[in-house]
Amino acid sequence: MTEKAKMIAGELYNPNDNQLLQDRLDAKSLCQKYNALSPNQQQEKQELLISLLGNAGENSVIEPNFFCDYGYNINFNGFVYINHNSVFLDCAKISIGSDTYIGPNCGFYTAIHPINAEERIKGLEFAKPITIGKNVWIGGSVTILPGVTIGDGAVIGAGSVVTKDIPANVVAVGNPCKVIKTIEQ
């Protein structure tokens, strides 16, 4: 099994594998090109997003600066708006539902380094996917950790650190992020 296959399967893998190193260099080059485009170069931005992500959703907007590790593990299921300075460590899948809005300075981190020091010293890591439902609003400076699912219609308050799943149609805030109220439909 290749290191890339191990990564995608959520198993321990070596991120310094030549294929994964090249994949990250390719993604970072595309991010650099994307971030350098003028705001009025909308067509070029969409083409680069499709090149980087594969599925960038219908007319999705990612404001610069945007950074990711691989790109191919990020999937938009419709229109998504991401404000400035987002970081996607997409060693595992990051799926974002339609009509989701993400504030500035948000981080989506799927990578996990082992607690066991010997494995960590060897440079091994693993990853867990992040799933964001549709119609979600994520405030500025939110951090979403590996393995988290956020349900449809949820609102995550600015500055939150999401360490566990958040159900649909709730407002959740804090560090760690906790539900504070249900959103009446």
- Whole-Å CA distances, 10 to 4, 77, 87, 124: 10, 22, 20, 12
Q: Which residues pair with 135 in a beta bridge?
A: none
Check: CB of residue 50 under 8 Å from CB of residue 72.
no
Hey, which residues are catalytic here?
A: 113
Burial of 110 (0-12, 13-18, 19+ CB in 10 A): buried
